Homo-oligomer: A and B are copies of this chain.
Amino acid sequence: MGSAILPHMPTMTSADLRIHNQVRLLRAVHDAPEPLTRASAARRMAIGRNTAAALVGELEEAGLLHEVPAESGGRGRPTTRLVPHPAGPIAFAADVREDSWTLAAIELGGAMRVLDTGEHDRTPGVFAEIREAVRRHATGRLAALGIAMAGPIRDGRRLHISHLGWDEVDLDEQLGADLPPTAADNDARLAGLAEARRGALRGVGTGLHFHIDFDIGGTLLLGGGAQRGAHNIAGEFGHMPLTGSPLRCMCGVQGCWSLDVGTNALMRHFGEEPGYGAGRGFARRVLERADDGDPEAARAVDRNAAALGRGLGALANALDPEAISLSGLGVDLLRRRRERVEEACRAGLMEFRRAEPPRIVEGTVGEIGPLRGAAEVAFDAILTPEWLRRRL
């Protein structure tokens, strides 16, 4: 009783109602774990089979959906599966790591195919490479582009990626004007969105996802969407002082959680200078040594895991998630030190929350989380009444 967000209540005519239902059908096809038929779509959408038939007919006419004979499934009249139309919209998704990039194509329903990858010199010149790759692979079906970036993107277009030395890089300027509609977002957020749509947090009303690499970043997930904030730069949970570090962070603040969780913290434990690039190998070796019984490596991993748990507990007090998923190094920490993470989390929970702590789970989308999430935000731009009105 009493929902968190006031429902969006747009102006609507009968024609708008039709578009509304066409979008619902496309969204249902896109999100369904297994292919839909007309009758199953009608049931899922609580509409008549006549209405479903009309919607499917119009979307096929518009080159958005297609029907192919379904495998025989027992008694009853044979039916068809609803699949992406051969001329239907395709989204490109790009994932920009700090020294490499990947471009993939995704169609309605989520099937993904990697088109191109490359390395880059850590300058904004990477966007020229991506632009070129998009141009090379684009067809008339290309409808939207999603881009995952390893850092915050203020207002959706101003990049601040401190470990690449980028400050106030303007994405629109870098990409130029001849790309399809483009949405860029932070890679940790997109990884979280991927878990919410197609991974460990599917169906979760309130969730948190954290990606741990050199440091930790994440996103608050609400009803299948990611909380972006006023300027699109929410999610920097790693830059909250949750574990009492006396050190100054490279973000400009003292005491960030990121100083205690992630590869940088492992490196610092051994007196190494935190940095990027070769650090991942270092973290891998620390984990291996800890597995092999090296006490100092074990201590470093213990502290990382405890710090992770402490922060998760604090965030659970504030945001009350049903589940928390982890990716990157978070999966490694969880597999090796689940009890320690959960114990530290529990210690950070207010007394009355301890009987029912949030579930802490491994993300299931894996390393393609940012790419998968970029695909989802591209399709979010497609599966709208506005886009469909222009297409019909």
Contacts and interface: CB of A to CB of B under 8 A. Distances in A.
A222 interface: yes
B352 A4 contact: no
Interface in A229-285: 229-237, 239-244, 251-255
A14 interface: yes
A341 B318 CA distance: 21
18 contacts: A1-B156, A1-B183, A4-B228, A11-B46, A12-B21, A220-B319, A222-B222, A230-B320, A230-B321, A230-B322, A231-B322, A233-B320, A236-B350, A237-B318, A239-B350, A241-B310, A251-B350, A252-B350
Contacts of A233: 320, 353
Interface string A206-219: 10000000000000
A23 interface: yes
Contact-residue size bin, chain A (C-beta under 8 Å from the other chain): 35 or more
B4 A227 contact: yes
Contact of A314 (B5, B228, B241): B241
B160 A5 contact: no
Contacts of A377: 1-2
Interface in A51-101: none
B4 A317 contact: no
A226 interface: yes
Contacts of A23: 9
A141 to B, nearest CB: 19
B241 A319 contact: no
Contact of A236 (B12, B310, B317): B317
A370 interface: no
Given A17-B12, A225-B3, A236 B322 contact: no
Contacts of A227: 4, 206, 220, 222, 319
A4 B223 CA distance: 9
Interface string A159-174: 0101000010000000
Q: Which of A181, A234, A319, A348 has the most CB of B within 10 A?
A: A319
A347 interface: yes
Contact of A5 (B183, B222, B240, B351): B222
Contacts of A255: 244
